[in-house]
């Protein structure tokens, strides 16, 4: 697929409904985002927005040689994407475009290439592990996190925000997992001091953070932890067969958290965890070849359905969440 290309498939049959750029030269996409009536993908020097219903290109932005788009984000009718050069010393810029027609709205210097949209704001993690929130309409800085508390990675949900360690960091000592006020970026509560490296998570509608941690020296080993964002209480932690193997994705399917373990999908009640019994007990799918891939397959949720995508071969499988 070409950079910033799309393929849309029927959720019920898996058949290709439309494609944009899929018949062009191969390339690597930086990421995609969907919000309302726009799907946006970035790859190389190209940022492309598509009408997901009609399957037509709405607009395209192209960068000059030597510049590259990072992963896009979109919310409230605005598309955000940072651009960067071939080396880290080159300046980086965060751009905002009107989602409907691609009209440039504003641009600001940045040191982060992965913007994080939360409501009407766009957040980035800047140098020094400092979170910065900008007004999505103007680009003006409206809040910054306390630089004395590292905030190298963000996990968010409507009305909730958590700072954790980043997935690329290494070492034996990690910053605490901290609840942050989404409006002010003020640190509200220290939730947990992890012994292993936080490496992805999701926040349930009732305020439980389901967090993946891995051993910094051996990422193939790790576990999952449930943390109550209101009380700061650790609700549960996994050991043994529930560790998820080498897969780090956790998603929400309906009201349940789902991850991959032993080639199976495992769904748990976020508050009661994998050791609950009765109606709240964990549910497991059958073994899927796409979930057995050692390259850490991708897991995506839409409603109560899940899509498995192996990292090492071209395949997709859509299943109902267990």
Tens-digit pLDDT string for the chain (322 aa): 456 778 888 877 888 888 887 665 555 677 888 888 899 999 888 999 999 888 899 999 999 888 999 999 999 999 999 999 877 667 899 999 999 999 999 999 998 888 999 888 999 998 888 999 999 999 999 999 988 888 888 999 989 999 987 555 555 678 889 999 999 999 999 999 888 888 889 999 999 999 988 877 766 677 889 999 999 999 999 865 444 455 678 899 989 999 988 888 999 999 999 999 999 999 999 988 888 766 678 888 888 889 888 877 778 888 999 9
Partners of residue 104 on adjacent β-strands: 97
Q: Is the dihedral of CA 120, 253, 100, 95 positive or negative?
A: positive
How many other C-beta atoms are found inside a 10 Å radius of the C-beta of residue 145?
27
Asked if 201 and 179 touch (Cβ cutoff 8 Å), the reply is no
pLDDT of residue 269: 96
Provide CB contacts within 8 A for 259, sequence distance 6+.
212, 224, 244, 247, 249, 250, 251, 265, 266, 299
pLDDT of residue 1: 45
Tokens representing residue 216 in the block: 């910094």
pLDDT of residue 142: 96
pLDDT of residue 314: 77
| Residue 243, φ and ψ in degrees, nearest 5 | -75, -10
pLDDT in tens, 101-125: 999 999 999 988 889 998 889 999 9
- The model's pTM is 0.87
Tokens representing residue 183 in the block: 């409006």
pLDDT of residue 148: 81
Tokens representing residue 47 in the block: 């940022």
């Amino acid at each position: 697929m070409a950079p910033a290309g799309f393929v849309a498939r029927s959720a019920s049959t898996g058949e290709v409904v439309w494609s944009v750029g899929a018949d062009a030269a191969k390339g690597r996409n930086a990421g995609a985002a969907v919000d309302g009536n726009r799907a946006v993908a970035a790859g190389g020097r190209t940022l492309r927005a598509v009408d997901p219903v009609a399957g037509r290109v709405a607009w395209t932005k192209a960068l000059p040689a030597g510049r590259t788009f990072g992963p896009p984000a979109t919310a409230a009718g605005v598309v955000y994407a940072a651009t960067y050069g071939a080396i880290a010393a080159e300046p980086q810029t965060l751009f905002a475009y009107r989602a409907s027609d691609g009209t440039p709205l504003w641009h600001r210097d940045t040191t982060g290439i992965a913007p994080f949209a939360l409501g009407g704001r766009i957040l980035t993690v800047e140098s020094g592990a400092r979170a910065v929130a900008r007004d999505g309409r103007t680009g003006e800085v409206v809040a910054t996190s306390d630089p004395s508390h590292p905030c190298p990675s963000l996990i968010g949900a409507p009305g909730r925000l958590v700072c954790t360690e980043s997935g690329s960091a290494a070492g034996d000592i990690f910053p605490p997992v901290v609840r942050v006020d989404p409006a002010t970026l003020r640190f509200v509560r220290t939730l947990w001091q992890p012994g292993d490296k936080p490496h992805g998570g999701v926040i349930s509608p009732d305020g439980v953070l389901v967090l993946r941690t891995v051993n910094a020296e051996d990422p193939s080993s790790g576990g999952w932890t449930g943390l109550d964002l209101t009380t700061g209480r650790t609700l549960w932690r996994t050991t043994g067969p529930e560790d998820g193997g080498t897969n780090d994705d956790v998603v929400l399917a309906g009201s349940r958290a789902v991850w991959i373990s032993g080639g199976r999908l495992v769904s748990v009640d976020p508050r009661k965890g994998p050791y609950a019994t009765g109606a709240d007990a964990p549910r497991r799918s059958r073994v899927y070849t796409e979930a057995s891939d050692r390259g850490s397959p991708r897991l995506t949720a839409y409603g109560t359905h899940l899509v498995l995508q192996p990292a090492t071969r071209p395949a997709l499988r859509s299943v109902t969440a267990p």
